[in-house]
Amino acid sequence: MLITEPQATARAAQATQIAPKSIHHFINGQYVPGERWFDKRSPLNNALVARVAEAGREQVDAAVRAARAALKGPWGGLSVAQRVDLLYAVADGINRRFDDFLAAEVEDTGKPMSLARHVDIPRGAANFKVFADMIKNVPTEFFEMATPDGQGAINYSMRRPVGVVGVICPWNLPLLLMTWKVGPALACGNTVVVKPSEETPQTAALLGEVMNAAGVPPGVYNVVHGFGPDSAGEFLTTHRGVNAITFTGETRTGAAIMKAAADGARPVSLEMGGKNAAIVFADCDFEAAIEGTLRSCFANCGQVCLGTERVYVERPIFERFVAALKHGAEHMQLGPPEDPATGMGPLISQEHRGKVLSYYQKAAALGATVITGGGVPDMSAELQDGAWVQPTIWTGLGDESAIAREEIFGPCALVMPFDREDEVIRRVNDNAYGLATAIWTTNLSRAHRVAAAIEVGIAWVNSWFLRDLRTPFGGAKQSGIGREGGVHSLEFYTELKNVCIKL
Ligand code: NAD
């Protein structure tokens, strides 16, 4: 069994009142207990919510062998249409158990239920449907060619699965980001071994039940839990039975995974950190820019890879913009997930809170003007042991400060004035990261110019977090290697083979 308590009743706010459950690995269609166990604590109040299995090398090896066997077994023998039907059944299965996924995700992350209900869980299901639809419509290449004997030859290309894909996931959007990789991997005919974040093991584990109910053959979808170095993450990425590795997480971790993948020259897809900028021109729709910037700074407690931590505001509207951001930040309601008024939950863990608070202290020590926040909020007695921090806005520091250069991954932003378009482009680009930007202007030509000049994988104009899943997703510079999404996922999850036939 996956859990010892009925999932449907596991409301996050009651985490302290129910017995901790046990989260098992999912290997070859079966739930398997751990060789060792670790504790998963609630971000809301630090209560113990689950004991999680930790995989050693042998369990990771069992998962990889199961995935390899499934490639050759019933999964490999399915037609595209049959695979598509199964992926649709998985998506329907997630939707059927929507409340279970919602409860699990909220319990692991502490995020507002409204957010998980509208973003995390629906996208988890959509990721299977989108890539099922995509694989039905994959174009193929065909070339006729001349040959010396005059008979000619034809060439056509075929896409074949790369094999067993290792999927390493972060904790900020657990189901969404995991299925963003598992959906296309399975659509392309691969099998997977998933290593969810140690902070968010539940929805990946629960998906095993959905896979079984949908009739996905054993071994196609496997989950091993644990940490990174010297644990399940490293054992999976160094396992030579893994043909390709797709990763989302910190840039430093991505570099370690790339090194592991070099052994065997295995391909990697890396979606990594960011230090994203919003660029607000004086001619913007002010209200829209404020609303979008507040969301991009504080959604999911600032724990969104695409979130904004640098805000460049054209000088004529700087003071007014800062005042409006302050107003918005101070009206952000922190609270329990099930309260519909809650706009922001806690950070993921005490450890991450320690990191974010160290930046809050660093900003103050560097002489930042703290416009709002900068510390720990007063919470009610039942929440005071959680990983809460205040939404925070600074001014008064420049581009060279650590606050402007390093990813904090918390609900905070440094707001800086600028005077000219070429100046702001240069300053935004003067950063090691290049994931996303949001440009706020009503000048169409300027929008195109700036979007073209900013060194990022994703540029939004007058919006933030609008995502069409058919579009390429990924980061420039140290924010990523490769693009996933739509047909771009095919490049990673398939091997393209050319067949040349002499006529
Ligand atoms: P992380 O890098 O600490 O961990 C991510 C995953 O890697 C976890 O499952 C972890 O256990 C595993 N891991 C750690 N070390 C490993 C190793 N040596 N070998 C194998 N696996 C290892 O990241 P996180 O703290 O979980 O997530 C936050 C980070 O993710 C932020 O930097 C954020 O920007 C980034 N992120 C990026 C995107 C994107 O699409 N670009 C999306 C979400 C999050």
* pLDDT at residue 496 tops 60: yes
* pLDDT at residue 12 tops 80: no
pLDDT digits (tens, 9 = 90+) for 61-98: 999 999 999 999 899 999 999 999 999 999 999 999 99
Placement of tokens 């160094």 in the chain: 238
Placement of tokens 């996924």 in the chain: 101
What is the predicted pLDDT for the residue at 430? 98
Looking at the DSSP assignment, which residues form a beta bridge with residue 154?
144, 501
* pLDDT at residue 206 tops 80: yes
Provide the CATH topology of domain 276-467: Aldehyde Dehydrogenase; Chain A, domain 2 (3.40.309)
Ligand 1 centre to CA of 331 (Å) is 31
Instruction: For CA atoms 233, 235, 240, 242, give the dihedral sign.
Output: negative
What is the predicted pLDDT for the residue at 15? 40
Ligand 1 centre to CA of 153 (Å) is 48
Residues serving a catalytic function are 271, 305
pLDDT digits (tens, 9 = 90+) for 103-122: 999 999 999 999 999 999 99
Nearest to 422 by CA among 320, 285, 312: 312
For 155-162, what is the mean pLDDT? 96
The CA–CA distances, whole Å, from 102 to 75, 112, 434 equal 29, 10, 32
What is the predicted pLDDT for the residue at 19? 61
Nearby residues of 280 by Cβ (< 8 Å), 6 or more positions away = 289, 293, 311, 312, 313, 314, 317, 321, 440
What is the predicted pLDDT for the residue at 220? 98
What is the separation, in whole angstroms, between the first and last Cα of the chain?
57
Query: Helix or strand or coil: residue 462?
Result: coil
* pLDDT at residue 246 tops 80: yes
Q: What is the value of pTM for the model shown?
A: 0.95
Which residue from 231, 305, 349, 409 has its CB within 8 A of the most atoms of ligand 1, so it is best to mutate?
Answer: 305
For 445-458, what is the mean pLDDT? 98
d(Cα 228, Cα 234) in Å, to the nearest integer?
A: 6
The CA–CA distances, whole Å, from 206 to 154, 307, 349 equal 47, 28, 22
d(Cα 166, Cα 36) in Å, to the nearest integer?
A: 21
The CA–CA distances, whole Å, from 61 to 192, 194, 206, 240, 438 equal 13, 13, 21, 10, 43
Which residue from 250, 258, 300, 353 has its CB within 8 A of the most atoms of ligand 1, so it is best to mutate?
Answer: 250
Residue 453 has which token pair? Answer: 């000049």
Looking from the CA of residue 227, the nearest atom of ligand 1 is: 11
Mean pLDDT (the chain, rounded)? 95
> Out of 3.40.50.300, 3.90.209.20, 3.40.605.10, 1.10.30.50, which CATH number does the structure's domain 57-272+480-502 have?
3.40.605.10
For 150-159, what is the mean pLDDT? 97
* pLDDT at residue 9 tops 90: no
For the chain, the farthest-separated pair of C-alpha atoms sits apart, in whole angstroms, at 86
What is the predicted pLDDT for the residue at 336? 97
pLDDT digits (tens, 9 = 90+) for 21-51: 999 999 999 999 998 999 999 999 999 999 9
pLDDT digits (tens, 9 = 90+) for 283-300: 999 999 999 999 999 999
Q: Counting Cβ atoms within 10 Å, is residue 139 exposed (0-12), middle (13-18) or buried (19+)?
A: exposed
- The yes-or-no answer to whether 57-272+480-502 and 276-467 have a common fold is no
What is the predicted pLDDT for the residue at 16? 44
Nearest to 246 by CA among 162, 304, 305, 173: 162
Residue 86 has which token pair? Answer: 């199964």
The CA–CA distances, whole Å, from 229 to 29, 225, 269, 295 equal 26, 13, 19, 34
Cβ 171 vs Cβ 109: under 8 Å: yes
Placement of tokens 């890879």 in the chain: 305
Looking at the DSSP assignment, which residues form a beta bridge with residue 221?
192
Going by the DSSP 8-state scheme, the letter that residue 120 receives in this structure is I
The CA–CA distances, whole Å, from 149 to 24, 143, 145, 502 equal 63, 18, 12, 10
Of 188 and 12, more confident: 188
Ligand 1 centre to CA of 321 (Å) is 33
Name the pLDDT band for 166 (thresholds 50, 70, 90).
Answer: very high
What is the predicted pLDDT for the residue at 18? 52
Pick the residue whose CA is nearest to atom 35 on ligand 1.
249
Instruction: Return the domain boundaries, the chain.
Output: 57-272+480-502, 276-467
What is the predicted pLDDT for the residue at 82? 97
